[in-house]
Amino acid sequence: MRQLAIIPHPAAKITLFSWNGKYLIKLEKGSLEQTYKVSELDLTSEADIHLLLDDEFVQAAVQRFSAMQQDLQAAFDRHGI
Per-residue confidence band for 45, with pLDDT thresholds at 50, 70 and 90: confident
- State how far the Cα of 66 lies from the Cα of 56, in Å rounded to an integer: 16
Digit-coded pLDDT (tens) for 57-80: 999 999 999 999 999 999 999 999
Domain count, the chain: 1
Q: Residue 11 sits in which domain range? A: 2-78
Digit-coded pLDDT (tens) for 11-44: 999 999 999 999 999 999 999 999 999 999 999 9
- State how far the Cα of 78 lies from the Cα of 55, in Å rounded to an integer: 35
Digit-coded pLDDT (tens) for 21-30: 999 999 999 9
